[in-house]
Structures are given as C-alpha cells and as structure tokens.
Amino acid sequence: MTLLSDQLNLKPQDLQSYWMPFTANRQFKQAPRLLARAQGMYYWDDKGNKVLDAIAGLWCCNVGHNHPKVVEAIQKQASVLDYSPPFQMGQPLQFELANRLTKITPPNLQKVFYTNSGSESVDTALKIAIAYHRARGEGARTRLIGREKGYHGVGFGGISVGGMVANRKMFGSMLGGVDHLPHTHNLKEQAYSKGQPQWGAHLADELERLVALHDASTIAAVIVEPVAGSCGVIIPPVGYLKRLRELCTKHGILLIFDEVITGFGRLGTAFAADYFEVQPDLMTVAKGITSGTVPMGAVFATNQIYDTFMTGPAHLVELFHGYTYSGHPLACAAALAVQEVYQQEGLFDRAAQMAPHFEAAVHSLKGAAHVIDCRNLGLMGAIELASRPNAPTARAFEVFLKCYEKGLLIRTTGDIIALTPSLIVEKEQITHITDTIREVLETVE
Ligand SMILES: Cc1ncc(COP(=O)(O)O)c(C=O)c1O
C-alpha cells in the first residue's frame, strides 16, 4: 500500500528525482515547502503548520479545499466508472456536464469540447479557429493574434500567442504567422486604479494596424485574457474589450477569451464575458471548472462554429482533435459537484459581495514599503513592487518566502504579488492577508 503524502517523511536525497515545474528547483530542494493537507481556506504543511491560502491553490480552488460534496462525488465515481474512451464512445456525465455548463455560459456559447488543462484548452481553441475558417472556405485565415504579457499556458500554440518573454525565449521560433497586440499596462496612466482603469481603450485599435499590415483575410483569431492573470493581474481599461469585439466582428476575425482564471466566479459573475458584457466566439476554461480537484479544461464554442464542422458524410469524424482523457469520468463527476456547490452556496454572488472589501484591503497597501501600484477587480488583486536595481523578481520572491514563513501562501510573478483567494474567503482572512504582506514588506530591503 502506498503511503499518503502526510505519512511520508522525505529526506533531502528524496527530493532529487522530481524536476519541478515553474520552480527554482535548487532553492526549493534546499528549503522545501511541502503541503500535505488542506481544508477550506487553509493548507497544512508536512510539519503540521497551518497556511492561509491567498491564491486558491493556483487560481483554481474556487470552492475552497476539500469541499465534502466534491470529495464525495469523486470518491463515488472512482468506484463506478474509472475510465471510458472518449473517441467514438461516451459516458453519461460528459453530456450531463455539458448541459449544465451551457446553462451558465454566455448565451451564444452552447457547445463544449473537453480538455485536461488550460494549455490544452488554448491549443484546442486556436486549432478550432483555424479549422473553422478552412471549413467555411476561408482557408487563408491562419494568422493568430495574441497580446504582449498574455499567458495562455505552455503548449506551442499557447506560448506563440502568449507574451511573457521568459516563457517564450528558450523555445525557438514557435508557431509561424503570429502577431501581438500591445499590452494595456501603464503605471503612469493607471496606477492605483480601483477596478477598471479609465485610460487605455484606444490600445484595442492597434488591431486595425495589424489588419492593415496582414490583411483581415489572413487572420483567424484574436486571443486575450479578459483580465490578464499570470503576468500580474492587468485589468482591461474601460471600453477596451468592447472595442476589440467590434473590430473582430468588423473583420470576420474570431475573438477568443481565455477565461482559465476568470471563469467560474472570479469577478463575481460566472465568466468575465458576463462581467464585461462582451461575448467571445470561443472561450477557454480550466481551473475553476473542477475547482482544481481533478485536471479538466474545456472550450466553449458557438453553435455556428460547431455547425460549420457538421457537414460531409455522417460516419466521418468532423474534428480530428481530442485527448485520451477528454471528459474523464472523475473530472466530470468533480465538475458536476463543483457546479452544484457554486449554485447552492451562491459563490459567484458571494465573490461580488466580497469584492468591495477585497478592493479596500488591496488598496490599503498603497504607501506600504516598496509598493508602486495596487489594482483589483472582483477577487483578483495585485500589488506591484519596485524592483531591486539589477535584480528583478528578487524582492517579490523574498516577500513570498517570508509570507510563507508567517503561514500565508501568496503568488508572485516578476515583482508583482497576485492575490486570488477562493470564493469562500472571509473578510477577516482578507484583512489578515494584506496585514501580513504589509508587515513583511517592512522587513525586506
Ligand atoms: C489564462 C490562462 N490560460 C491558460 C493557462 C494554462 O493552464 P494550465 O496550467 O492548466 O495548462 C493558464 C494558467 O494559469 C492561464 O492563466
């Protein structure tokens, strides 16, 4: 019988085989941070120390950790149907979940394609966009437009349209035929904005420049995160996304919203598309779909896109794409239970109600040591720090380590602290998060 994680007593030499993702492996293995258990808003490390989770795991555990209803659903399903092949076969929960999800998706998005992660959702959406244009006779539309500072996972499609330099520079030429819109982050114009900044909608017009350069007839899709998360929570300027929608529609370009972080209540609405009242043609999700419990992602598409593929002889496969684990039974069971919890506990509304307190707490860090910006929307917040001369990221990483020592898990990216607590977070916990960060900031150089 394999030991459970909290029964293992790992020695330094036991840490050498595992190559950790997006991690400073050598630093970690010198001073490991091992999470062994979780409940609600908290983790416990392998020594039994309690850690308040200010980032919902990794922007994903929206219903809080180890929710009993979700745990039960996964356990039950594991004993009923472990696996079923998703190609040319189905299992009931896939259909049930798709029906359930399309009750809360924007009204134009009524088809669901399952994946296992955000990266796979992104690559799936990009492929659907290109194939869709080809299927309807505009096969020259292959160009993809992303945005600087965008994060769309780590597949070749995702890093090609993505705009975080460190995630791209080591990996060669990536996909051809990709261009980027400028990002919208500008501290001079936007610092300390509460909610959406007023300045910057005009940056959407840069799409016109790219259309003029490449011609619309070569462009398949534009992909953006409605609120950019991983690069440090960049909130879209008022009117920006609507303008982007108008321009995409004008030029016959599909608009893809990557809602891997913003989906499932993060802004106090089911999706950011609802919050901003902008409907994309394709939408990618993951994370909150199962509240992080079992890997799962999905792409939502319009009926029109789906129907475009439903031609030709009925016995032929229409889209040559999918994953061994698309719509896995455990993931579907988890997702169904999570959707139930969202609804029964009114968690999207709860996030909306908590947002003003969260905003006040995040902005209370204005004036704290090293802080050069605070920004927020829904339950997404960021505190940007001045970088140490010649040592970008070092200060924020130290803050991360010191917060962890004080029993608080935050996330840093560059010199930005990102906060995205579970939707069950309490006011006192929010206050504790920002108070701890303030204390720690005073102790770092
Ligand atoms: C907007 C966005 N897209 C895609 C991804 C990739 O998701 P995954 O890590 O599940 O592949 C992420 C992950 O943080 C994300 O934030």
Give the count of alpha carbons within 13 A of 389, CB side only.
0
Task: Determine if ligand 1 sits within 6 Å of the CB of residue 119.
Answer: yes
Assign 2 a pLDDT band (cuts: 50, 70, 90): low
Rounded Cα distance, 68 and 76, in Å? 12
Q: What are the angstrom distances between the C-alpha of 314 and each of 302, 306, 309, 320, 419?
A: 20, 14, 11, 14, 48
Largest CA distance in the chain: 68
Q: What are the angstrom distances between the C-alpha of 73 and each of 80, 336, 339, 424, 431?
A: 11, 8, 12, 20, 33
Task: Determine if ligand 1 sits within 6 Å of the CB of residue 225.
Answer: yes
If you measure from the C-alpha of residue 90 to the centroid of ligand 1, how many angstroms do you get, rounded to a whole number?
26
Is the per-residue pLDDT at 4 higher than 90? no
Q: Kindly state the average pLDDT of the residues 86-101.
A: 98
Ligand 1: which atom is nearest the Cα of residue 225?
1
Contact of 362 with 376, CB cutoff 8 Å:
yes
Gyration radius (Cα) of the chain, Å:
22
Coil, strand or helix at 381 = strand
Strands (E), 347-393: 371-377, 380-385
Is the per-residue pLDDT at 419 higher than 90? yes
Looking at ligand 1, which residue's alpha carbon is closest to its atom 12? 153
pLDDT digits 0-9 by tens, 185-217: 999 999 999 999 999 999 999 999 999 999 999
Sign of CA dihedral 115, 267, 337, 91: negative
pLDDT digits 0-9 by tens, 164-190: 999 999 999 999 999 999 999 999 999
Assign 3 a pLDDT band (cuts: 50, 70, 90): low
If you measure from the C-alpha of residue 12 to the centroid of ligand 1, how many angstroms do you get, rounded to a whole number?
30
Give me the helices (H) in 183-297, please: 187-190, 206-214, 240-251, 272-276
Query: Which of 152, 299, 323 has the most ligand 1 atoms within 8 A of CB, as the residue to mutate?
Result: 152
Nearest partner of 74 among 289, 287, 293, judged by Cα? 293
For the chain, give the number of residues: 445
If you measure from the C-alpha of residue 119 to the centroid of ligand 1, how many angstroms do you get, rounded to a whole number?
6
Task: Determine if ligand 1 sits within 6 Å of the CB of residue 118.
Answer: yes
Q: What does the block give as tokens for 282? A: 């394709």
Query: Which of 287, 291, 294, 420 has the most ligand 1 atoms within 8 A of CB, as the residue to mutate?
Result: 287
pLDDT digits 0-9 by tens, 357-414: 999 999 999 999 999 999 999 999 999 999 999 999 999 999 999 999 999 999 999 9
Assign 12 a pLDDT band (cuts: 50, 70, 90): confident
Task: Determine if ligand 1 sits within 6 Å of the CB of residue 363.
Answer: no
Ligand 1: which atom is nearest the Cα of residue 295?
10
Task: Determine if ligand 1 sits within 6 Å of the CB of residue 258.
Answer: yes
Contact of 183 with 148, CB cutoff 8 Å:
yes
If you measure from the C-alpha of residue 53 to the centroid of ligand 1, how many angstroms do you get, rounded to a whole number?
19
Ligand 1: which atom is nearest the Cα of residue 287?
10
Nearest partner of 235 among 89, 418, 47, judged by Cα? 418
Task: Determine if ligand 1 sits within 6 Å of the CB of residue 161.
Answer: no
Task: Give the relative orientation of helices 92-104 and 329-344 as an angle to the nearest 10 degrees.
Answer: 30
Rounded Cα distance, 396 and 402, in Å? 10
pLDDT digits 0-9 by tens, 118-133: 999 999 999 999 999 9
Quickly count: other Cβ atoms within 10 Å of residue 418's Cβ: 24
pLDDT digits 0-9 by tens, 284-318: 999 999 999 999 999 999 999 999 999 999 999 99
If you measure from the C-alpha of residue 166 to the centroid of ligand 1, how many angstroms do you get, rounded to a whole number?
15
Angle at 346 between CA 342 and CA 351, to 5 degrees: 90
Quickly count: other Cβ atoms within 10 Å of residue 160's Cβ: 23
Query: Which of 260, 271, 285, 325 has the most ligand 1 atoms within 8 A of CB, as the residue to mutate?
Result: 260
More confident residue, 10 or 234: 234
DSSP H or E run through 408: strand 408-409
| % of the chain with per-residue pLDDT over 70 | 98
Ligand 1: which atom is nearest the Cα of residue 229?
16
DSSP one-letter string for 95-148:
HHHHHHHHHHS-TTEEEEEEESSHHHHHHHHHHHHHHHHHHTT-TT--EEEEET
- Return mean pLDDT, the chain: 97
pLDDT digits 0-9 by tens, 220-236: 999 999 999 999 999 99
- pTM here is 0.97
If you measure from the C-alpha of residue 123 to the centroid of ligand 1, how many angstroms do you get, rounded to a whole number?
11
Rounded Cα distance, 246 and 112, in Å? 24
If you measure from the C-alpha of residue 445 to the centroid of ligand 1, how many angstroms do you get, rounded to a whole number?
32
Is the per-residue pLDDT at 1 higher than 60? no
If you measure from the C-alpha of residue 59 to the centroid of ligand 1, how many angstroms do you get, rounded to a whole number?
9
pLDDT recorded at residue 396:
98
Contact of 116 with 325, CB cutoff 8 Å:
yes
Q: 403: burial class by Cβ within 10 Å (0-12, 13-18, 19+)? A: buried
Task: Determine if ligand 1 sits within 6 Å of the CB of residue 117.
Answer: yes
Is the per-residue pLDDT at 8 higher than 60? yes
If you measure from the C-alpha of residue 129 to the centroid of ligand 1, how many angstroms do you get, rounded to a whole number?
19
Coil, strand or helix at 162 = coil
Task: Determine if ligand 1 sits within 6 Å of the CB of residue 152.
Answer: yes
Q: What does the block give as tokens for 114? A: 């399952």
DSSP H or E run through 282: strand 282-285
pLDDT digits 0-9 by tens, 17-28: 999 999 999 999
